């Protein structure tokens, strides 16, 4: 996939930008996945890889904004172990923080 030369200059890779992206991913997943039965297989449902991206995004930025210390780890663990109901709960916790920090979009 080719990118325009200035594509990356438009990305917000600040801590706040990463937080906003994590919040956007969580919101997208929760909009279409209401319980564990809504997830497709790992190879068919992009929500699995999207959720996997959230943990590192908020794990690297826990001090700004202040996400709970365990939230990134919980999202990673529950996604990796396919505890999808717990994953959805964790994403809900994240979205609560996103809304409080005005990152809900």
For the cut 80, the answer to whether the pLDDT of residue 39 exceeds it is yes
- Cα-to-chain-centroid distance, residue 45: 15
Radius of gyration of the chain (CA): 14
Q: What is the reported pTM?
A: 0.83
How confident is the model over 3-33, as pLDDT tens digits?
Answer: 455 555 678 888 888 888 999 999 999 999 9
For the cut 90, the answer to whether the pLDDT of residue 54 exceeds it is yes
Question: 1 falls in which pLDDT band (50, 70, 90)?
Answer: very low
Hunting for tokens 């068919």 — which residue is that?
44
Quickly list H helices, the chain: 15-32, 47-59, 71-80, 84-100
């Amino acid at each position: 996939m080719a990118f325009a030369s200035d594509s990356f200059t438009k990305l917000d890779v600040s801590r706040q930008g990463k937080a906003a992206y994590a919040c956007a991913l969580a919101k997208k997943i929760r909009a279409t996945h209401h319980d564990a039965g809504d997830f497709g297989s790992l190879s068919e449902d992009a929500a699995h890889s999207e959720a996997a991206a959230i943990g590192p995004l908020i794990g690297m930025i826990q001090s700004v904004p202040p996400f709970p210390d365990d939230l990134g780890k919980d999202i990673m663990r529950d996604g990796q172990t396919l505890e999808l109901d717990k994953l959805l709960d964790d994403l809900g916790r994240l979205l609560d923080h996103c809304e409080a920090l005005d990152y809900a979009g």
